[in-house]
A and B are shown apart, each in its own frame.
Chain A
Amino acid sequence: NAGVTQTPKFQVLKTGQSMTLQCAQDMNHEYMSWYRQDPGMGLRLIHYSVGAGITDQGEVPNGYNVSRSTTEDFPLRLLSAAPSQTSVYFCASSYDGGSVWEQYFGPGTRLTVT
């Protein structure tokens, strides 16, 4: 199993550009989530999904969209990048018990918005 994979590893965007961060898992996990990690702050939940076709907002959803058309994939879209979205983004998945189950994290995507 590859576990949780994320692409790209690094990305530089100009303000106003859009892009999609990819996340995929091959463990048949129902629960998937996106976090951002900023210096001096804990990981913060952006969006999450408890199964295909179901998504919900986390703590910091503004400026981001998600969809979950398959169990395996959970892409994160930045609609119009802003410097405040410079961060490291982590995707995670777990069994259908959601956050109360062991979390498996992807390697992260480091995004810089200039």
Chain B
Amino acid sequence: KNEVEQSPQNLTAQEGEFITINCSYSVGISALHWLQQHPGGGIVSLFMLSSGKKKHGRLIATINIQEKHSSLHITASHPRDSAVYICAVPKNTDKLIFGTGTRLQVFP
């Protein structure tokens, strides 16, 4: 069993739909990262959270430490949101463990 698991692996949506991507982990953490990888390959950090909820524009990330689960929500999805979304968890202060990613395609 992977230490960080994401679901679904692939997701298609119509523009405007509400999107949820899930991440479950088995390692102890101090902060969970959500990252976005665009079709061109570049990776950017979206959120880093250790409790509760964070919001940035149409993106919302939540985490439940007790259940070892985090979700990334996208409201009013747009084709430009099409990307691979990756969650990552520090195994200790020096090493990140990554999920395999969720490939999202949003169609107009």
Name A's B-contacting residues (CB within 8 A). Answer: 31, 33, 35, 40-45, 48, 50, 56, 58-59, 88, 90, 92, 97-105, 107-108, 110
Contacts and interface: CB of A to CB of B under 8 A. Distances in A.
Contacts of A103: 33, 35, 45, 88, 96
Contacts of B93: 97-100
Nearest to A90: B43
B90 A99 contact: yes
- Range for the number of chain B residues in contact with chain A: 20 to 34
Interface of B: 2, 4, 30-31, 33, 35, 41-45, 48, 86, 88, 90-101
A47 B42 CA distance: 20
Contact of A42 (B42, B44, B100): B100
27 contacts: A31-B94, A33-B96, A41-B100, A42-B2, A42-B4, A42-B99, A42-B101, A43-B86, A43-B98, A45-B95, A50-B94, A58-B95, A88-B41, A90-B43, A97-B93, A98-B90, A98-B93, A98-B94, A99-B92, A99-B93, A99-B96, A100-B30, A100-B31, A101-B31, A102-B33, A103-B96, A108-B43
B42 to A, nearest CB: 5
Contacts of B95: 45, 48, 58-59, 99
Contacts of B97: 42
A40 B45 CA distance: 20
Contacts of A92: 43
A107 B91 CA distance: 24
Contacts of B41: 88, 107-108, 110
A5 B25 CA distance: 31
Given A50-B94, A105-B44, 4 more contacts: A42-B98, A97-B93, A102-B48, A104-B45
Nearest to A97: B93
A83 to B, nearest CB: 21
